[in-house]
Amino acid sequence: MSDEQIDSETGFIINNGINTNTTPIIKVVGVGGGGGNAVGYMYNQGVENVKFVVANTDRQALENSPVPERLLLGHTGLGAGNDPKVAFEAAQESIEQINRIFDDTTKMTFITAGLGGGTGTGAGPVVARVAKERGVLTIGIVTIPFFFEGMKKITKAFKGAMEMRKYVDALLLINNEQLLKIYPDLDLDSCFDKADDVLATAARSISELITTRDARINLDFNDVDTTLREGGTAIISCGYGEGENRVEMAIQDALNSPLLSNRDILGSQRLLFNLYYSRSAEHRFQAKEMTAFTEFVNHLPGVDVIYGVAYDESLGDRVKVTILAAGFEMSNAIGTDVITDEAYQPAADHLPSEPQADDPNIIKAMAEQYGSDRVADMEAQKARNLYAVLSVNQLDDDHIIEALEKSPAYKRTKEDKARIFRSAPRTAPEQTAAPQRGSSTTINISD
Binding site for other proteins (CB under 8 A): 360, 367, 372-373, 376, 379-380, 383-384, 387-390, 392, 395-396, 400-401, 404-405, 408-412, 428-429, 431-433, 435-437, 439-446
Q: Which residues, at least 6 apart from 141, have a Cβ–Cβ distance to it below 8 Å?
A: 38, 110, 111, 112, 113, 171, 172, 174, 198, 199, 202
Q: If residue 31 lies in a helix (H) or strand (E), which one and from where to where?
A: strand 26-31
What pairs with residue 170 in β-bridges?
Answer: 139, 232
Q: How far is the CB of 376 from other proteins (least distance, A)?
A: 5
Toward other proteins, which CB reaches closer, 113 or 367? 367
Tell me whether residue 105 or residue 431 sits nearer to other proteins (CB atom): 431
Q: Quote the distance between the C-alpha of residue 179 and its chain's center.
A: 13
Q: How far is the CB of 427 from other proteins (least distance, A)?
A: 9
Dihedral angle computed from the Cα positions of residues 416, 419, 421 and 426, in that order, rounded to the nearest 10 degrees: -160
Pick 213 or 406: Cβ nearer other proteins = 406
Give the nearest distance from C-beta 399 to other proteins in angstroms: 11
**Contact between residue 190 and residue 284 where contact means Cβ atoms under 8 Å apart:** no
Q: Cβ closer to other proteins: 313 or 358?
A: 358
Beta strand ranges found along 4-62 (DSSP E)? 4-6, 12-15, 26-31, 50-56
Give the orientation angle of helix 151-167 with respect to helix 84-93, to 10 degrees: 30
Sequence-distant (≥ 6) Cβ neighbours of residue 3 within 8 angstroms = 15, 16, 17
Whichever of 134 and 411 has its CB closer to other proteins, that residue is: 411
CA dist list (Å): 272 to 228, 237, 440: 9, 11, 86
For the chain, the first-to-last Cα distance in angstroms comes to 101
- Alpha carbons within 13 angstroms on the beta-carbon side of residue 429 total 7
Is there a contact between 209 and 151 (Cβ–Cβ < 8 Å)? no
Q: Are 274 and 219 in contact (CB under 8 A)?
A: yes
Q: How far apart are CA 4 and CA 63, in angstroms?
A: 10
- Distance between CA atoms of 53 and 133, rounded to whole angstroms? 18
Cβ at position 394, least distance to other proteins in Å: 9
Supply the minimum distance, in Å, between the C-beta of residue 389 and other proteins.
Answer: 5
* Nearest distance, CB of residue 447 and other proteins, angstroms: 10
Residue among 184 and 438 whose Cβ is closer to other proteins: 438
- The residue (of 287 and 389) whose beta carbon lies closer to other proteins is 389
What minimum distance in Å lies between the beta carbon of 159 and other proteins?
19
Write down the least CB distance from residue 333 to other proteins, Å: 14
**CB 161 to other proteins: min, Å:** 22
Q: Which is nearer to other proteins, 306 or 388 (CB)?
A: 388
Cβ closer to other proteins: 351 or 380? 380
* Residues paired with residue 12 on neighbouring β-strands, in sequence order: 71
Count the Cβ atoms, other than its own, within 10 Å of residue 87: 33
